[in-house]
Structure 1
């Protein structure tokens, strides 16, 4: 943890400077920040979490984390498992995080951004677009409104956003999430909300690679197993007919 405040804000006690009087071995704010970042180069996944998980102790054991691990650390570890080791669907991983929560996770090396909110919407979480198109997320609606104007909305409960793949519902992963515009009395769009469309299902993802090859092989095997067996009785009748013909000719 690092916090650097200007002198006009912090007003530190002058006695702290006594050990270094006459020495020029201190750093500027920028130099301090650069030194701190260089010592934490391995910290490439950043997470802001708010709320709590119902089964935090179980999640700690599941991911092999110490008892001191917070909800934010659990989210980071769950993401790393999803990214590196297990082919679990992302909606299933987030659905296992039962509780009241909202979080934003950013993986710097891959540029992956995740944002999610629990199914009950128990924790305030809003998002919007800044003037330059930047995505803004916060648990403070006033900050979002001030930064984004009308281009903001509550983050939909039970959903997760991933840059590159968009917004999905982890409560209803097979259904599409639609944006619904709100209009004022004059017919002008004054806002937007996101809801799960329970009547529209997403298209299934076609299998590729080895899974596709296995499917083709299985189809061939089933086709061969379902083909009619050879008629051996018919072969015997043909042989008997040929033998009879030979005897008659003699």
Structure 2
């Protein structure tokens, strides 16, 4: 899968661009990325959006374990990879037909979040059980929404193209070629919604930080994102709730910081 969005809409974390700003490898432009993706696929669906944004899905070697699909419902576009273990329960919860796919369930969950606010983003995604990753775009409002399951069972990566476009892909080799060093695994158990920070849906009161990776020469060669064990964000409990919706147990999803990693707050 491939999804590319202009920076003014996506507004990704600034840390993604740090390796390129240090004068390392050049990355491709949006046009080059799409052309490379086209040339690598025999069966391809491309949804061209406004301002040269697009979402594309290859049907080549579609995995039975982690199937890929793309749907469009009421100008909401969604690429979904993986499976949900509780699809039947979610269909009943959202009043959907038995034929509704996982991608349609995700679109409906997003629409509930959008239309019936206040409804915590992390709580909506937390209801999804299984191995999955998705990228959703609401063309009417210009809202970009991406998430990856808490176990990291499905690959999802993001990075910055040479012209500043934000790129999503489930193929780590492809996104490395497209974005040079300005790419990173999308952190498991996290959600990204433009206009807000990258956050953990299991631990929404703990900040997700960017950690710089250095090569043998001490140059920054990339970043990873992980949940901060030691920092809690200020919050207000939901009225009428018997308990805080943040779990007390905290997990660093991408592993402990190594000696060659630096917290990007230092930059």
Q: Distance in 2 between matches of 1:143 and 1:124?
A: 12
- State the shift of 1:146 in Å: 1.1
Further displaced range: 79-88 or 55-64: 79-88
- State the shift of 1:203 in Å: 2.5
Q: Distance in 2 between matches of 1:42 and 1:136?
A: 22
- Residue 181 (1) aligns with residue 206 (2): no
Please show how residues 137-156 of structure 1 align to structure 2 within 5 Å: 137-156=168-187
- State the shift of 1:206 in Å: 10
- Give the 3-state SS of the residue equivalent to 1:161 in structure 2: strand
Q: Distance in 1 between matches of 2:95 and 2:210?
A: 39
Task: Tell me which of 97, 118, 130 is aligned to 1:66.
Answer: 97
In 1, are the aligned partners of 2:73 and 2:107 still within 8 Å (CA)?
no
Structure with the largest fraction of strand: 2
- Residue 119 (1) aligns with residue 177 (2): no
Q: Distance in 2 between matches of 1:73 and 1:197?
A: 33
1:131 corresponds to: 162
Q: Distance in 2 between matches of 1:147 and 1:109?
A: 28
Which runs of no fewer than 5 residues in structure 2 stay unpaired?
1-41, 43-71, 240-267
- State the shift of 1:132 in Å: 1.2
TM-score (norm 2): 0.61
Please show how residues 12-161 of structure 1 align to structure 2 within 5 Å: 43-161=74-192
Moved over 6 A (4+): none
Which runs of no fewer than 5 residues in structure 1 stay unpaired?
1-9, 11-40, 212-250
What does the per-residue CA deviation read over 1:32-78, in whole Å, with 9 as the maximum and x for residues that have no partner? xxxxxxxxx97310000000111110000000000110000000000
- State the shift of 1:178 in Å: 0.2
Further displaced range: 196-205 or 53-62: 196-205
Task: Tell me which of 176, 186, 195 is aligned to 1:164.
Answer: 195
- State the shift of 1:88 in Å: 1.7
- State the shift of 1:87 in Å: 2.2
2:226 corresponds to: 195
- Give the 3-state SS of the residue equivalent to 2:198 in structure 1: strand
Q: Distance in 2 between matches of 1:174 and 1:84?
A: 24
What does the per-residue CA deviation read over 1:129-182, in whole Å, with 9 as the maximum and x for residues that have no partner? 001111000111122111101000110000000111020000110000000000
TM-score (norm 1): 0.65
Q: Distance in 1 between matches of 2:227 and 2:90?
A: 28
- Give the 3-state SS of the residue equivalent to 1:166 in structure 2: coil
Aligned residue pairs: how many?
169
Q: Which has the larger radius of gyration?
A: 1
- CA gap of 1:91–1:42, structure 2 versus 1, over 3 A, is closer
- Give the 3-state SS of the residue equivalent to 1:77 in structure 2: helix
Q: Distance in 2 between matches of 1:173 and 1:133?
A: 28
